[in-house]
């Protein structure tokens, strides 16, 4: 795995160090926040560094004692105690299988995938694992839905056996945000696009990451079908918004980096926290789709969410 990737890694590392030096005053001013004495934060990446480079750069500015590699052996060979970051589900899977010595923080893994992957792990092992989910919480998404329509609306959700367990969480969020919720559990052999018929009378659809519902085979059909019916889809990533959903709450790289940093700090100071949805998030709206659905997007909608404090 050394060679090109490794040399790229080295170059990147040098850059981060240089940036750390550049912002040294700021990081020092944050005091111990930027440092975990004796504990190194080690990130495992899968394949190329390119996709995760923005995160590595953002996180590197917050954590000086940070090392990353795409080779697990290089990570575990390093001396001293460590907190491991699993960047993506493949990395998480690798770290789980390797049974590394130290807490693992999952990053960029959706909640349902995370839960499924941990379902096979022992109780003792799971105590050592936490994560910041890839997608924003139903609470954030439904807060956005209410803000977009500026009134009590009906929202429908398609669930599968994978996500049926989330129904209560979604219901609580709907109640909190004054949303009328309709859920429908799609059976394993059913076509999710056809199942939208069960949600024909709702104003909007909440999309949650669920490979049985939203996958490369169904996405086009789901988007086209809801658009034909004049229903907007809320969630669950900015790529989805670019594809044609109405809007989403999402965590930007800086938001994720800040939250992961806080999780790491918390682990260093106290204990391993529960896995969590992003609590720093912002809003992406497909304004063209909104306009064609006759939805007026107020400035307040775009200002929703919360941002991390400046470093």
Partner 1 sequence: MKNSVAAIFAATACVAGKAASDDVPAPDFEMGNIPTVITPTRLRQSIMDVPASVSIITAEDIRRYGIRSIPEAFRLVPGMEVNEATGGQYKINYHGSNIRSPRRMNVLVDGISVYRPGFSEIFWSQLPIALQDIERIEVTRGPNSASYGPNSMMAVINIITKHPGDLERGSASATWGSNGLYQLHGQVARLFGSTAASLAVSSEGDHGYDWSSQREADHDSARTKRISFKSDTKLDESSSFQFQAAYVKGITEMPFTSEFESFPDIRIEDWYLGATWTKQVSPDHDFHLRFTHSNHEAKQEWTACFPRVTYLPELYALWRSNPNYANAVLAGQRPSGGSAQDDALALQAIAAVRRLGATALTPLCGTGNANRVEKRTDFEFQDTYVVSPSLRVVAGFGIREQTAESETYLGGKASNRLYRVLGNAEFKPTPGVSLNIGGYGENDDVVGWTFAPRAAMNIQMSSTQSLRAVISKGLRTPDVQEQRGNISYTLRANTPGPDGSLTPRFYQSASASGNLKPEEALSTELGYTYINQPRGVLVDARIFREKLTNLISETVEVTDFNLTNNNSVLLYGLDLQTTYEVSPTLHSFLNYTYLLNKGATVLLERSQYSRHAGALGMSKTFGNGWGLSAAYYGASGNGVGEASYGRLDFVASRNWRIGNNRLEASFVVSRLNNKSTSYLAREGSVYESRFDERMKVFGRLKVAF
Q: Which of residues 156-175 bind partner 1 (CB under 8 A)?
A: 162
Window 21 to 60, contacts with partner 1 (CB under 8 A): 46-48, 50-52, 54-55
Interface residue with partner 1 among 128, 198, 272, 276 (CB under 8 A) is 198
Interface residue with partner 1 among 28, 81, 175, 292 (CB under 8 A) is 292
Answer whether the bond into residue 111 is a cis peptide, omega within 30°. Answer: no
Window 70 to 99, contacts with partner 1 (CB under 8 A): 87-90, 93
Size (the chain), residues: 311
Cβ neighbors of 166 (< 8 A, separation 6 or more) are: 111, 112, 138, 159, 208
Task: Give the position of tokens 């992961």.
Answer: 260
Closest distance between partner 1 and the C-beta of residue 310, in Å? 16
Window 260 to 289, contacts with partner 1 (CB under 8 A): 278, 284, 286, 288-289
For residues 301 and 148, the answer to whether their CB atoms sit within 8 Å is yes
User: If we measure between CA atoms, which residue out of 282, 256, 236 comes closest to residue 131?
Assistant: 256
Which residue's CB is nearer to partner 1, number 84 or number 149?
149
DSSP lists the bridge partners of residue 251 as: none
Window 199 to 238, contacts with partner 1 (CB under 8 A): 200-203, 209-212, 214-216, 219-221, 223-225, 227-230, 237-238
Angle at 274 between CA 127 and CA 91, to 5 degrees: 70
239 binds partner 1 (CB under 8 A): yes
d(CA 248, CA 145): 9
Closest distance between partner 1 and the C-beta of residue 249, in Å? 11
Which residue's CB is nearer to partner 1, number 29 or number 200?
200
């Amino acid at each position: 795995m050394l060679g090109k990737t490794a040399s790229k890694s080295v170059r990147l590392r040098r850059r981060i160090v240089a940036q750390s030096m550049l912002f040294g005053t700021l990081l020092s001013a944050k005091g111990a926040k930027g440092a975990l004495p004796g504990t190194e934060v080690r990130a495992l990446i899968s394949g190329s560094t390119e996709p995760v480079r923005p995160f590595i750069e953002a996180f590197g500015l917050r954590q000086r004692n940070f090392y990353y590699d795409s080779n697990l052996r290089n990570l575990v060979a390093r001396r001293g105690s460590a907190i491991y970051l699993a960047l993506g589900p493949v990395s998480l899977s690798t770290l789980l299988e390797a049974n590394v010595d130290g807490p693992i923080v999952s990053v960029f893994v959706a909640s349902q995938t995370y839960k499924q992957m941990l379902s096979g792990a022992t109780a003792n092992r799971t105590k050592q694992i936490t994560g910041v989910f890839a997608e924003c919480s139903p609470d954030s998404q439904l807060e956005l839905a209410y803000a977009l329509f500026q009134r009590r609306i009906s929202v429908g959700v398609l669930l599968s056996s994978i996500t049926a367990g989330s129904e209560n969480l979604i219901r609580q969020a709907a109640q909190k945000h004054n949303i009328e919720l309709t859920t429908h559990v799609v059976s394993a052999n059913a076509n999710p696009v056809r199942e939208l018929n069960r949600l024909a009378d709702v104003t909007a659809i909440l999309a949650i990451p669920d490979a049985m519902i939203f996958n490369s085979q169904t996405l086009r059909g789901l988007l086209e079908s809801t658009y034909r019916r004049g229903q907007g889809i809320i969630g669950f990533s900015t790529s989805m918004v670019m594809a044609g959903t109405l809007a989403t709450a999402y965590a930007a790289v800086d938001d994720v980096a800040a939250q992961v940093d806080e999780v790491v700090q918390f682990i260093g100071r106290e204990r391993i926290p529960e896995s969590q949805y992003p609590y720093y998030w912002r809003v992406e709206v497909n304004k063209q789709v909104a306009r064609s659905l006759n939805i007026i997007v107020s400035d307040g909608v775009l200002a929703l969410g919360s941002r991390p404090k400046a470093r």
